[in-house]
Amino acid sequence: MFDTVPDMACKRAELSGDATAFVDQATGRRWSFAEVNRAADAVAAALAERGIGEGDRIAIACLDCAEFFITLFACQKAGVILCPLNWRQPAPELVATMKPVEPCLLIHDAANDDLAERIAVETKIGRVDIETGLHAWIARGGPPRRAPVPAERPWYLLFTSGTTGRPKAVIQTARMCWANTVNIGQAIGLTSADSAVTFLPLFHTAGINLYTLPVFLNGGRSTILPKFEPETLLELIRAGEVTQFFAVPAIYQAFSLMDAVDKVDWRALRCGCGGAPLPESLIRFFADRGAMVLNGFGMTETGPTVFLMDAARAADKIGSVGRAQMLTELRLAGVEADAPGEGEIELRGPGITPGYFRNPEATAETFAEGGWLRTGDVGRRDAEGYVYIVDRIKDMYISGGENVYPAEVERVLNDHPEILEAAVIGITDEKWGEVGAAFVIPRPGATPDPQKVRQWCRARLAGYKVPARVIAVDDFPRTAAGKTRKPELRETLT
């Protein structure tokens, strides 16, 4: 695609220096593009003073704030690799996660001071707090940096959500960032007039890339909330401070249960969703209020945008994630090019990661010949080229010799009037080999009867797909992306 790109913060400051890049909701501070660039220059200079340079890694643990992105741009300028940490994890887990990447410094906010102290004691690395240390660096300033950025140089690492095991460090590059900006930008019509809100955690690709970095690169404005606060977020939307909105299904679910949801003019908002499938009931809930929420699909390894449903066909292709976006090649394993069919989704293009940091074995396992990324997801393409995500290959189970994809069963359960959300896993059975176990979160005030839930499923599914067990729970263990941690659900049955 290209070998180098301009320094992102520097170039954006040249184009629209006085315009507002970030609004920090917690402090009220507004950062112009020029201020962001100068601050990033200052942080890059401070890192250099500490002897931290190209190829070195630094970790960061903080709630959402403009200083995260300033540090991210500083790392791009200096060639340093940033490693955002999941501050929800306990220190021993984070120490184990950090060990393979060997960061030499930890930047953190006041909210994570105790966590940072425990990590620093265990790892013997230095730490700098944002509120005093980083701000002192910014106040001192630094020489302007304008050098081109190698497009494939590792910029930051994101640790996979770890639903199946220990997280791997996925390399993110400037090329991936620009590919994502093109893919999502043309799909949603992103311009400098748009405003977004940052509230998803910044140790996850959606927090950084949907839509904060694309909005920044297009010259738009992002309001940053420290974390998800439904009332504050909904009020921002109601006040017209957001034109482009992206969330995971759990956020839309939370909105749907709030009285204030009907005080919002949803027609003024362009809405996207990813991280997990959005149930049809929620799609119709927001469509009735004037917002067609567009389902998408992507991965940490893909930058993340690969698919996003187009608004023109969303109403008549509910459940589809659309077609592969502008800078992404798609093939379905075992299916002829462009033909309808079902197979593992494989992807190629400038938005795909070069691999896992210091993990050549995992990289080799993930990529097929020719640079195709094996996603581990089964997709179905219809005659018009629209793709539907069938399920994760690893989640499929075999009952009586028949393949069962839990996502199909979950869609049926999610339509049940007394069920808010469902998760299905395969469990061992002496007669059938495996059968389904359905965990369900009841709607407020409801108490679903397991036998009646099974009858509901039997009227809509083949018998071997009907879950043998239905278990009501208050909530599911989840990743930062809102995905259900099914191994942890399985552990509750053993």
Written as one string, the DSSP assignment of 70-120 is HHHHHHHHHTPEEEE--TTS-HHHHHHHHTTT--SEEEE-GGGHHHHHHHH
The rounded percent of the chain whose pLDDT value lies above 90 is: 93
Written as one string, the DSSP assignment of 279-318 is PHHHHHHHHTTT--PEEEEE-GGG-SEEEE--HHHHTTST
Distance (Å, rounded) from C-alpha 139 to C-alpha 162?
A: 38
pLDDT in the model for residue 42: 98
Residues 44, 46, 50, CA angle at the centre, nearest 5°?
115
Residue bearing tokens 């400037």 = 174
The predicted model gives 412-425 an average pLDDT of: 96
Give the confidence band of 279 by pLDDT, cuts at 50, 70, 90.
Answer: confident
pLDDT in the model for residue 163: 45
The predicted model gives 193-206 an average pLDDT of: 96
Q: Helix 33-49 to helix 8-16 angle, to the nearest 10 degrees? A: 150
The 10s digit of each residue's pLDDT in 174-189 is 999 999 999 999 999 9
The rounded percent of the chain whose pLDDT value lies above 70 is: 99
Cβ atoms of 196 and 220 within 8 Å: the answer is yes
pLDDT in the model for residue 161: 59
The 10s digit of each residue's pLDDT in 88-125 is 999 999 999 999 999 999 999 999 999 999 999 999 99
The predicted model gives 434-445 an average pLDDT of: 96
Q: Letter for the amino acid at 156? A: Y
Q: What is the DSSP letter of 278?
A: P
The predicted model gives 49-76 an average pLDDT of: 98
Given a cut of 90, whether residue 275 has pLDDT beyond it is: no
The 10s digit of each residue's pLDDT in 284-323 is 999 999 999 999 999 999 999 999 999 999 999 999 999 9
pLDDT in the model for residue 165: 57
pLDDT in the model for residue 83: 98
Given a cut of 80, whether residue 494 has pLDDT beyond it is: no
The predicted model gives 377-399 an average pLDDT of: 95
Distance (Å, rounded) from C-alpha 91 to C-alpha 85?
A: 10
Global pTM reads 0.92
